[in-house]
Amino acid sequence: MLDISQIVYIRRLNKMENKQMTNKLATIRDLVPGKNFDFFNNFGDQVFKNKTININEVGHDWFDCLNYDQQTYVLQMLKYSHLNYDEVIEAYDKEVIPNVIKKERALGWKCDSKGNIIGIIK
C-alpha cells in the first residue's frame, strides 16, 4: 500500500509528463556541410540551414544540461547575442535559478538559493 507522500510524488511526476507532451519548437541557423564538403580538402564548404528543434528545457535547466541545439538557440536569442560565450552562460544560469529550484523541488529535492541540491524533502 502506498503512503500519502508516495501518492503525491507520483502525481507530481504525472503532471510533469503531461506538460512535456506539448513540445515547444524553435528554428535555429545551423552550420552543416555543403554539397562539395570534404574534411581534408574542402573544409570551408559549409552552409547555414534552418533547423527546427525542441526547446522544452530552455529556461528550466542549466545551460550545461541543455543539448547542443538548445545551447545554440540560447546563444542566438536577442538578449544574449551581444555577449561572449562565458557571459551568456553566466547570465542564462542566473536567470533560470528560480525555475531550476522549482523543478528540483517538484522532484523531491531540497535546494539552496543557488540551485544546488542539498538534500531530500521529507
- pLDDT of res. 44: 81
- pLDDT of res. 70: 93
Tell me 63's DSSP state: G
- pLDDT of res. 7: 59
Question: Crossing angle for the helix pair 68-76 and 85-106, nearest 10 degrees?
Answer: 120
Give the helix/strand (H/E) hosting 118: strand 117-120
- Give pLDDT tens digits for 72-93: 999 999 999 899 999 999 999 9
Sequence-distant (6+) residues with CB within 8 A of 15 are: none
Tell me 69's DSSP state: H
The mean per-residue pLDDT over the stretch 98-112 comes to: 89
- The structural domains of the chain, with segments of one domain joined by +, span 21-120
Mean per-residue pLDDT of the chain: 84
Strand 117-120 to strand 109-111: parallel, antiparallel, or no bridges (unpaired)? antiparallel
Does residue 4 carry a pLDDT above 70? Answer: no
- pLDDT of res. 95: 93
Reading phi first (left if > 0) and then psi (alpha if -120 to 50, else beta), residue 121 is in: beta
- pLDDT of res. 24: 84
- Give pLDDT tens digits for 20-46: 567 888 888 888 888 888 878 878 888
- pLDDT of res. 87: 95
- pLDDT of res. 93: 92
Per the structure block, which three cell numbers stand in for 53?
Answer: 528543434
